[in-house]
Amino acid sequence: MSDRLIRGMGGKEVRFFIADCTELVKKAAKIHKLSLANTQVLGKLLCAGILSGADLKSVKDVLTIKIDGDGPSGKAIVTVNSGSQIKGLISNPQADPEGYVEEVRYIDKLMLGKASITIIKDMGLKNPYSGQTEMVYGNIAQDLTYYYATSEQTPTSIGLGVLIFPDGKIRKAGGFMVQVMPDCSENTIAQIETNLRSFPNLTDVLDMGYSLEKIIKEMILKGLDVEIFNMPDPVYKCGCSRSKMKNAIKLLKEKEIKESLIDPGYIEVNCHFCNKSYRFSKEDLS
């Protein structure tokens, strides 16, 4: 089954985004040969990227979330466009903390260490919008919630998860984001807070077979008048191509290009987002 993303409104006071990202997280884990711990970290960041990018309007709009940490994972980055096409990478994909077990509650903090979160929105303007906060909770969902409250002054609730089998296979991955509008009433806020306190893990509910629509209408925004809009299905997709890599090679110094064409006789370029390699001979570059 393909992944899904929906968005909508709860009356005129709340907007939401919710996604099942299981297949794209599986693909990322396979491409990067992620450890169990990094499957959790990069998987949640990919889910967060799909949710945050769901608000992009133009086909050329791009949103990037970067985490710079000093933990075993190193740095992590995801980039998504308005078509819900996302790609990502992590500095040390096979890293695992010594004695790692799946039940570690704050695996994000354990793997990322002391870190900061940066969100960059490129809307085709002269200067892309960029905001940054420190990770104060050591949990990607909580720290993105903090980011939206402090950097964009938008009260937000975010849930992210990657559910993994004991043998390491990914069972479910997904996330939700609820944001209240400026004129939201106290009663509505109280209703959402009550709903979220009784809401279990999103991935557990997805694993039980509940649809995104049912989760929103009967759980997260229970008691509100919910209107739903379909979005493009999320997919892990890298935009690299042979022509783009060829243009990148042309940015190298002429001496570097000539030396590579002598030994080993070609230039090979690897895309870090999809691990696809492109090989160019002297004739290809002439």
At 150-166, the pLDDT tens digits run 999 999 999 999 999 87
Q: Are residues 171 and 58 in the same domain?
A: yes
Claim to verify: residue 270 and residue 175 sit in the same structural domain:
no
Q: Is the pLDDT of residue 208 over 80?
A: yes
**Do 101 and 196 have their domain in common?**
yes
Residue 156 and residue 78 share a domain? yes
214 shares a domain with 90:
yes
Domain shared by 25 and 10, yes or no: yes
* Same domain, yes or no: 228 and 155: yes
* Residue ending a domain, choose from 214, 236, 258: 236
Q: What is the CATH number of the domain that holds 34?
A: 3.55.30.10
In this structure, of 6-20, 136-150, 157-171, 238-252, the range with the lowest mean pLDDT score is: 238-252
Same domain, 38 and 168: yes
| pLDDT tier, 267 (very low <50, low <70, confident <90, very high otherwise) | confident
Cβ density class 152-191: b for 16+ within 10 Å, e for less: eeebebbbbbbbbeeeeebebbbbbbbbbeeebeeebeeb
The pLDDT confidence band at residue 66, using thresholds 50, 70 and 90, is: very high
Write down the pLDDT at residue 45: 98
Statement: the pTM of the whole predicted model exceeds 0.85: yes
92 and 61 co-located in one domain: yes
Q: Are residues 46 and 154 in the same domain?
A: yes
Which structure tokens are listed for 54? 């769901």
Domain around 269: 242-285
Sequence length of the chain is: 286
Domain count, the chain: 2
Residue 255: give its domain's CATH number: 3.90.1280.10
pLDDT band at 106 (very low <50, low <70, confident <90, very high): confident
Instruction: Indicate if 96 and 30 belong to the same structural domain.
Output: yes
141 in the same domain as 77: yes
Tokens of 162: 């990657």
State the Cα torsion 259-263-264-267 to the nearest 10°: 10
